[in-house]
Amino acid sequence: MVPIEQSTTLAPDPSSAAEARRFVRSALAEWGASRLDDVATLLVTELVTNAVLHTRSGPEVTARMAGRRLRVEVADDNPAPPVRQHYSPRAGTGRGLVLVNELASAWGTEPARRGKIVWFELESGSGAEQLEPVGHRLAPAHEGDR
């Protein structure tokens, strides 16, 4: 099976997260894989936001569909791998990699020509239950935590 692939390069600007969501949503619609839309757009938002905020570079986003598996890669110019920061429960930041870890079928990082690639994969199945690995569920937000 030959994978189908699309790429785009974004500006080193916080507005690039919204552009990355539109890019992934459009690719999934074109490939008939819109059921992955919600999780894929959330996760690409987190990775692009991290790339812009922590590396100050314009990320390149690549979406690739091979069979039922979607892989989204976010490349930036900094070779340092992402590190999960530990913020207080009331902090307005610091949950991006937690979300990626909880919702992706797989994710990781690898060196690239001029930096690194942070990627995640999602498996397209017959229902939303296949989008979340077994045993990984986010706890509901509590009113007092907002």
Q: What is the mean pLDDT of residues 25-53?
A: 95
Looking at the 3D structure of the chain, how many domains does it have? 1
pLDDT tops 60 at residue 62: yes
pLDDT at 136: 37
pLDDT at 21: 98
More confident residue, 145 or 62: 62
Share of the chain above pLDDT 90, in %: 63
Dist CA 139 CA 57 (whole Å): 33
Q: What is the mean pLDDT of residues 36-58?
A: 94
Ranges 1-15, 23-37, 46-60, 118-132: which has the least confidence: 118-132
pLDDT at 50: 92
Q: Count, in order, helices (H) and strands (E) of the chain.
A: 3, 5
Q: What is the mean pLDDT of residues 13-25?
A: 97
Q: Which residues of 70-79 are buried (b: 16+ CB within 10 A; e: fewer)?
A: bbbbbbbbee
Q: Answer yes or no: is 87 within a domain.
A: no
DSSP string covering 63-113, please?
EEEETTEEEEEEEES--SPP------TT-SS--HHHHHHHH-SEEEEEEET
Q: Answer yes or no: is 25 within a domain.
A: yes
Q: Answer yes or no: is 36 within a domain.
A: yes
pTM for this predicted structure: 0.81
Dist CA 37 CA 127 (whole Å): 12
Q: Answer yes or no: is 145 within a domain.
A: no
Q: Answer yes or no: is 37 within a domain.
A: yes
Q: What is the CATH number of the domain that holds 33?
A: 3.30.565.10
Q: Answer yes or no: is 109 within a domain.
A: yes
Q: Which domain holds residue 64?
A: 4-82+94-132
Quick: pLDDT tens for 72-118: 999 999 999 887 766 666 655 667 888 899 999 999 999 998 899 99
pLDDT at 94: 61
Q: Answer yes or no: is 33 within a domain.
A: yes
H or E segment and range at residue 122? strand 115-123
pLDDT at 83: 76
SS3 120: strand
Would you call 144 exposed, middle or buried from its count of C-beta atoms within 10 A (0-12, 13-18, 19+)?
A: exposed
Q: Answer yes or no: is 30 within a domain.
A: yes
Q: What is the mean pLDDT of residues 46-58?
A: 92
Q: What is the mean pLDDT of residues 55-60?
A: 93
